[in-house]
A and B are shown apart, each in its own frame.
Chain A
């Protein structure tokens, strides 16, 4: 840039444009056209620098040290420092607070400091969080959700704790996985899988009271479950008593954790699976199979009873009806029934009428075709049937 005696505005602009021009050079330094002589001696003149050439030996002290190429930042600094130093005198209008001092440092520091204070004093706390404020290590207060104000960073630090999130611990596994065998009160064994839900109640207690709170809660859960199951019988654990067990475990866990002042609330315990162990599962299936069998027997007996009852009632009703008719005209009905029956019976049978008297009855038995039993032997023929 030409060194004229510019107006304040132009000077202002020229100060501002130096960094812009510097950036126009590209990150490897060098200038498209250089006629001010401000460039340091190091980099080769003319054209953008080839990044693969050997870096030139340094001209002038570099803050970073080492074989660094004069980077954009170095250029900026040097330019700024020399520009301001060279300018001296009364600066242009507008605030340059450090104009009488050495340069960019105080302004930058001030800006950084203000940013630092602002960023670390205001805290945004979500609805499910609480902010634990530590004043140089000492606990001072807990911030509620919203915007919280504290002293800036080294003096007060805020740690966020998520208190609404419900965490789950799973003990044991459902299905074919590893068995979690627990002894019951009557010295039987069951395979338990359950889960515990908990959340943080007091953020400060949770952070400061227990070392490794998550592992502690898991151990407390196992202890509580074991001690409760050891007071119930096998049938209760397998069936009806599960809700009672869950409730008791929850109470006991809360009791233990409160005795530690752990600041944790147990939301609930859920038993996912309570089964007999693999090895005796067949025997248990046998029991339910036998229950089914017993029920089947009873059902069959009932069916038989129904059948019998129906048949009896049917026959009784039939007899009653006939009897009614018979009573009206006994002899006639009797005769009628007799003739009807005999007619039906003797119609399809082989009949032989043998007259008693002087004829010797000869009965050709082999010719009488009777398959299994003889219908009536010769003796029966003489007596006659009724």
Chain B
């Protein structure tokens, strides 16, 4: 023993062997992962399995022991994962198309089942993706277009979730929710016709506004005319005869204005009122 301790190389080798043994026996299970212990290919027990309403700190995380070299540990993520669906084109009952982008959040609640049926997390995701797509298309295809824009109102999303959960349970997975991220009109005719509709609506609105403006303007003018006429009538109506005379004087001044274009030639007769005094009496 002393010789062993004296010899540093041997010491190092022994230490290394101990470390390897330790690594094969003891594992630290983090809060974010659950584990399936597999002995010679067959799953024997689960560690840190997911339970709903479990608080962190009281889970099965911590130290896990296993038989070294005979048992393998398979890690499975315990957290909420997400699977995204590719863009799908959905046809509504009134024959209108919509491009939908959706995602689903799921969690592996039965790791044993997941290990047996799918093996790895990647395969679970690949299995869920097409099912999500078809469930979405089926459910949304039963609705009119207006309902597609707001599928949250009503049962649509929960129906999709229920349908997806039925399949997901076989993989040991629980689907938490399904949500639509984007809805777009498909490029090409639907999008362009929507734009055209917006354009014509705007043009109509523009014309209406203009017409309203003109109508208002005309009313204002008419009112102004009426008010002016009223003012005139109130004033000139006091003596219609005198107004006639007064206005005629104004008119003569303006009409026979020497600065105005045209020259005026007046031919007077001595009988003219103007020349009355001219004749003498």
Q: List which A254-290 residues lie within 8 A (CB) of chain B.
A: 256, 259-260, 276-277, 279-280, 283-284, 286-287, 289-290
What residue in chain A is nearest B265 (Cβ atoms)?
A350
Kindly specify which of B111-119, B131-139, B232-240 makes contact with the partner chain: B232-240
Shortest CB-to-CB span from A332 to chain B, Å, is 13
Kindly specify which of A111-119, A203-211, A242-250 makes contact with the partner chain: A203-211
For residue B209, which residues in chain A have a CB less than 8 angstroms away from its CB? 287, 290-291, 293-294
Contact of A286 with B203 in the complex, beta carbons under 8 Å: yes
For residue A344, which residues in chain B have a CB less than 8 angstroms away from its CB? 253
For residue A305, which residues in chain B have a CB less than 8 angstroms away from its CB? 220-221, 223-224, 227
- A137 contacts B by Cβ under 8 Å: yes
In the complex, A215 Cα to B83 Cα: how many Å? 12
Q: List which B232-281 residues lie within 8 A (CB) of chain A.
A: 232, 234-236, 238-239, 242-243, 245-246, 249, 252-253, 256, 258, 261-275
In the complex, A349 Cα to B275 Cα: how many Å? 16
For residue B238, which residues in chain A have a CB less than 8 angstroms away from its CB? 320, 323
Tell me whether A298 and B239 are in contact in the complex, defined as CB-CB below 8 angstroms, given that A287-B206, A382-B269 are known contacts: no
Q: List which A213-265 residues lie within 8 A (CB) of chain B.
A: 215-216, 219-220, 222-223, 226-227, 230-231, 234, 256, 259-260
Q: A294 is contacted by which of B210, B246, B249 (Cβ under 8 Å)?
A: B210
Contact of B57 with A137 in the complex, beta carbons under 8 Å: no
Tell me whether A352 and B31 are in contact in the complex, defined as CB-CB below 8 angstroms, given that A208-B79, A222-B181, A297-B214 are known contacts: no
- A3 contacts B by Cβ under 8 Å: no
Contact of A205 with B56 in the complex, beta carbons under 8 Å: yes
13 contacts between A and B (CB under 8 A): A183-B149, A189-B194, A211-B81, A219-B179, A289-B206, A300-B217, A304-B224, A305-B227, A316-B236, A319-B236, A323-B238, A348-B258, A372-B261
For residue B77, which residues in chain A have a CB less than 8 angstroms away from its CB? 211
Q: B270 is contacted by which of A63, A289, A353 (Cβ under 8 Å)?
A: A353
For residue B191, which residues in chain A have a CB less than 8 angstroms away from its CB? 189
Q: B267 is contacted by which of A297, A342, A354 (Cβ under 8 Å)?
A: A354
In the complex, A296 Cα to B238 Cα: how many Å? 39
For residue A338, which residues in chain B have a CB less than 8 angstroms away from its CB? 249, 273
What residue in chain A is nearest B250 (Cβ atoms)?
A341
Contact of B227 with A189 in the complex, beta carbons under 8 Å: no
Contact of A136 with B62 in the complex, beta carbons under 8 Å: yes
Shortest CB-to-CB span from B22 to chain A, Å, is 11
Shortest CB-to-CB span from B83 to chain A, Å, is 11
Q: A134 is contacted by which of B31, B176, B239, B264 (Cβ under 8 Å)?
A: B31
For residue B103, which residues in chain A have a CB less than 8 angstroms away from its CB? 219
- A16 contacts B by Cβ under 8 Å: no
In the complex, A7 Cα to B268 Cα: how many Å? 160
Tell me whether A297 and B202 are in contact in the complex, defined as CB-CB below 8 angstroms, given that A211-B80, A384-B269 are known contacts: no
- A167 contacts B by Cβ under 8 Å: no
- B129-151 vs A, Cβ < 8 Å mask (1 yes, 0 no): 00000000000000001100110
Closest 10 pairs between A and B when the two form their complex, measured CB to CB: A294-B213, A305-B224, A316-B235, A301-B217, A348-B258, A312-B228, A283-B202, A290-B206, A301-B220, A137-B28
- B212 contacts A by Cβ under 8 Å: yes
For residue A4, which residues in chain B have a CB less than 8 angstroms away from its CB? none
Contact of A316 with B231 in the complex, beta carbons under 8 Å: yes
In the complex, A35 Cα to B53 Cα: how many Å? 77
Contact of B62 with A354 in the complex, beta carbons under 8 Å: no
For residue A295, which residues in chain B have a CB less than 8 angstroms away from its CB? 213
Q: B61 is contacted by which of A137, A189, A220, A223 (Cβ under 8 Å)?
A: A137
Shortest CB-to-CB span from B62 to chain A, Å, is 4
What residue in chain A is nearest B205 (Cβ atoms)?
A287
Interface size on B, residues (CB 8 A): 92
Shortest CB-to-CB span from B164 to chain A, Å, is 16
20 new A-B pairs (CB below 8 Å) besides A227-B150, A312-B227, A375-B265?
Answer: A137-B30, A139-B31, A139-B59, A187-B149, A189-B198, A208-B31, A226-B183, A286-B206, A289-B206, A290-B209, A290-B213, A298-B213, A298-B220, A301-B219, A308-B227, A345-B256, A349-B266, A352-B266, A371-B261, A385-B273
- B82 contacts A by Cβ under 8 Å: yes
- A124 contacts B by Cβ under 8 Å: no
Contact of B61 with A139 in the complex, beta carbons under 8 Å: yes
- B126 contacts A by Cβ under 8 Å: no
In the complex, A287 Cα to B20 Cα: how many Å? 77
For residue B252, which residues in chain A have a CB less than 8 angstroms away from its CB? 341-342, 345
- B199 contacts A by Cβ under 8 Å: yes
For residue B225, which residues in chain A have a CB less than 8 angstroms away from its CB? 308
Contact of A311 with B56 in the complex, beta carbons under 8 Å: no
Tell me whether A226 and B202 are in contact in the complex, defined as CB-CB below 8 angstroms, given that A219-B103, A298-B216 are known contacts: no
